[in-house]
Amino acid sequence: MTQRTRKPARQPSSPTAGLLLALLLAGCQAGPTRATSTPAQPLPTTAPPGAPAGLYLDALDGMAPGDGARQQATLQAARGAWQQAPNPGNTLRYALVLGTPGHADTNPLEASRLLAGLLAAPASLSADELRLAAAFQREFTARVAQYVELARTREDSEARLRAAEADTQTRLNAMSADVARLRRERDAVQEKLDAIADIEKSLMERDGETAPSPDATPR
């Protein structure tokens, strides 16, 4: 019996693609493997209901980071197909690419909502599609929870910063008030010293005017 040599599997280009590939491998273990020699086909513009999971893997591969133009084209194709025919297949594919991280339009909240709608009607999906929708819905929900926690942490930090700035400003205002009070007290003391000096000068001038001249002959 000739032993068949397996070719190494293609490594996923993104975390979500890795999750999808793991699900595919788990599904393939349930049945016999069959080698195919057909070349890779271009990504269809529409994902029909009950589409094979490989179609969704191709869509996620188009969202791999590093090629913004390809990401945008993949997202626009999936969105356009979903808008024209919002069947379960198109909805699933659009939700997967929309929630994929690493692109400017990523929206895990909306993607999770779309997947939750699909999971609410499981009869419209194949077993593979159900596994995909459930797995990615959990991932997107977890990401949304992380974003909420990060936003809350940032708000708390900003609130503490504003409180510290307000406290610092209050201290500065108090110090400015103390400085202004000390200056007023200094000016008041200086005015009194100047007044005393003027009085002493006047007394000295008056005593000088009334004092007898040394050359005067006493009578």
> What are the pLDDT digits (tens) for 13-28?
455 555 554 444 444 4
Among 11-25, 139-153, 159-173, whose mean pLDDT is lowest? Answer: 11-25
Mean pLDDT on 145-161: 88
Q: For residue 107, what pLDDT is reported? A: 94
Domain ranges of the chain: 45-152
CA–CA distance, 5 with 131 (Å, rounded to integer): 29
127 band by pLDDT with thresholds 50, 70 and 90: confident
Mean pLDDT on 194-206: 84
Percent of the chain with pLDDT over 70: 70
Q: Which residue did the predictor score with more confidence, 62 or 4?
A: 62
Mean pLDDT on 112-129: 91
What are φ and ψ of residue 33, in 5° steps? -85, 150
Q: Which of 45-49, 158-162, 197-201, 213-217 has the highest mean pLDDT?
A: 158-162
Burial of 117 per CB tally in 10 Å (0-12, 13-18, 19+): middle
**The pLDDT of residue 37 is above 70:** no
Identity of the residue numbered 5: T
219 band by pLDDT with thresholds 50, 70 and 90: low
Q: What is the pTM of this model?
A: 0.55
116 band by pLDDT with thresholds 50, 70 and 90: very high
Q: For residue 206, what pLDDT is reported? A: 77
Q: For residue 6, what pLDDT is reported? A: 45
CA–CA distance, 206 with 187 (Å, rounded to integer): 28
CA trace torsion 155, 159, 161, 167 (10° rounding)? 180
Round the CA-based radius of gyration of the chain to a whole number and report it: 42
**The pLDDT of residue 165 is above 60:** yes
Which two three-digit tokens encode residue 129?
Answer: 């599609």
**The pLDDT of residue 192 is above 50:** yes
**The pLDDT of residue 35 is above 50:** no
Identity of the residue numbered 62: G
Which two three-digit tokens encode residue 203?
Answer: 């007394």
Average pLDDT, the chain: 78
